[in-house]
Amino acid sequence: MAESVIRLFNGGLTTQPPLSLYIHLPWCVRKCPYCDFNSHALQTLPEAAYIDALLLDLEQALPDIWGRRIHTVFFGGGTPSLFSAEGIDRILTGVRTLTPLMPGAEITLEANPNTVEAAKFAGFRAAGVNRVSLGIQSFNPRHLQALGRIHDDREARRAAELAATHFDTFNLDLMYALPGQTLAEALADIDTALGFQPPHVSAYHLTLEPNTPFGHTAPPNLPDDDVAADMQLAIEARLGEAGMQHYETSAYARPHHASRHNLNYWQFGDYLGIGAGAHSKLSFHDRILRQMRTKHPQQYMDAVGQGTHIADVRTLTRGDLPFEFMMNALRLNEGVPAALFEARTGLPLIVCTEALEKARARGLLLPDAARLQPSLQGQRFLNDLLELFLA
């Protein structure tokens, strides 16, 4: 074992990266036809039993994270805002009891407009949530209907108003290249969003995932690649004019409002994921592990009680690490310091020499040896850049 560890990490990891906590709440009112997340249409919400399982999951994970401080918490789903404010408070009380949650930690909760009420937002804030991410997707009623969303444009606007009222920082999630969408309509969504003065906007290209109705049984008619590219450039320009920095492939933020939780992912930090289907990446001195919890909610709740809820564990190999690191770090438009590669992987950057030389020769990576930063061309053709780092 010692021999294989030496081959994997030259001297091992000398410091552990920051640690985040991801909490998966898997239920939603209705599953959208484009969604390939581990989410389940709501019949009944077993809130108390699921929270019991979450807290037991966290308690059983403590040996893997013992003594490490939690920098950020993220409630994802599903639609976490279906849970009561009292339920979210109970979860966060458990997190504070079991782990050293840092003072001032960013605590984000995803919410959908149709589940939002002023009293509920106030309750989430009182429980300790200090950032919400609203799944708006569009302010256009025709596009909301085409996406199978259960909220309408009035609910979207009301939810954005409430987010701005109750939270100093919040995110509005939007999509573009939607069925039948024009460039003018895509920009109208951005302009409407900017009217609420959001500190953070995410703008995603709609993709047709294979295991979804949109990707498999009923693919919609989407704008062609040229129109979609025009939308991306126009959205970036419009948000830039509004003072928002395009800091990651799909993320824009005002100064000091970038998502700290997501930045930790992209900088190859660690995260413990609890809940049905949640993923973890955990670093130890001699190895980096990826874990996945049992996906189905009821099976997960049953398995936690037996201590059998971790469905998959994989140790990243020396060959995995360059691609795993770059797949995250090169999503950041400003990249990362070159020294972060060795700090996060335990490998010298020299193992990437051939790929780095090819990337710079093709104009996909900037020539600064002290920084790993995609060029504008590299940002536009990120998949081509990342392929160079595959084992």
Give the phi and the psi of residue 14 in degrees, each rounded to 5: -85, -30
Confidence at residue 212, expressed as pLDDT on a 0 to 100 scale: 56
Cα 341 to Cα 33, 148, 171, 309, 323: the distances in Å are: 38, 41, 29, 32, 11
Which stretches within 128-211 are classed as H helix? 141-146, 153-166, 183-194
pLDDT at residue 4, as a whole number: 35
> Containing H/E element for 71?
strand 70-77
Q: With contact defined as beta carbons under 8 Å apart, do 215 and 208 qualify?
A: yes
Reply yes or no on whether the pLDDT at 33 is more than 80.
Answer: no
Q: Is the pLDDT of residue 97 over 50?
A: yes
**84 vs 44, more confident:** 84
More confident site: 150 or 309: 309
At residue 59, does pLDDT exceed 70? Answer: yes
DSSP secondary structure letters along 10-55:
SS--SSPPPEEEEEEE-EESS--TT--SS-EE-S---HHHHHHHHH
Residue 357 has pLDDT above 80, yes or no: yes
Give residue 316's pLDDT.
95
- The pLDDT of residue 207 is 79
Please determine, for residue 338, whether its predicted confidence score (pLDDT) is greater than 90. yes
**pLDDT, tens digit, for every residue of 256-278?**
999 999 999 999 999 999 999 99
Per-residue pLDDT tens digits for 45-55 = 899 999 999 99
Strands (E), 189-333: 200-205, 245-248, 251-253, 270-274, 279-283, 288-293, 310-315
Copy the structure tokens of residue 245.
């920095």
Task: Please answer whether residues 307 and 60 qualify as being in contact, where contact means their C-beta atoms are separated by less than 8 angstroms.
Answer: yes
- With left for phi above 0 and alpha for psi between -120 and 50, is residue 280 left, alpha or beta? beta
Residue bearing tokens 């302009």: 191
Over range 96-118, report the average pLDDT: 91
Whether the per-residue pLDDT at 245 is higher than 60: the answer is yes
Q: Which pLDDT belongs to residue 308?
A: 97
Query: What values do phi and psi take at 121, rounded to 5?
Result: -60, -45
Could you report the per-residue pLDDT of 4-31, keeping only the tens digit for each?
333 445 557 888 999 999 999 998 876 5
162: nearest Cα among 186, 136, 188: 136
- What's the predicted TM-score (pTM) here? 0.92
**Contact call for residues 250 and 204 (beta carbons, < 8 A):** yes
* Reduced 3-state DSSP string for 205-239: ECCCCCCCHHHHCCCCCCCCHHHHHHHHHHHHHHH
Helices 225-241 and 183-194 cross at an angle (nearest 10°) of 30
Confidence of residue 236 (pLDDT cuts 50, 70, 90): very high
The pLDDT of residue 217 is 63
Please report the pLDDT score of residue 147 as a whole number: 79
Measuring CA to CA, which residue among 97, 19, 44, 56 is closest to residue 272?
Answer: 19
The stretch 286-307 carries a mean pLDDT of 96
pLDDT at 25: 96
* Measured distance CA(360)–CA(365) in Å, rounded: 5
What residue spans define the domains of the chain?
Answer: 2-265, 333-387
User: Is-cis flag, bond preceding 11, omega within 30?
Assistant: no
Which residues are paired to 131 by β-bridges? Answer: 108, 169
- Looking at the DSSP assignment, which residues form a beta bridge with residue 72? 20, 106
Looking at the domain covering 2-265, what would its CATH class be? alpha beta
How many percent of the chain have pLDDT more than 90? Answer: 79
pLDDT at residue number 281: 98
Q: Which residues pair with 25 in a beta bridge?
A: 77
Instruction: List pLDDT tens digits, range 368-391.
Output: 999 999 999 999 999 999 999 997
* Rounded average pLDDT over 154-167: 93
Please state, rounded to an integer, the average pLDDT across all residues of the chain. 91
- Average pLDDT of the segment spanning 212-233: 78
Q: Region 138-160: what's the mean pLDDT?
A: 88
pLDDT of residue 214: 57
Q: How confident is the model at residue 2 (pLDDT cuts 50, 70, 90)?
A: very low
Q: Which two tokens stand for residue 81?
A: 């805002």
Q: Which two tokens stand for residue 190?
A: 């951005």
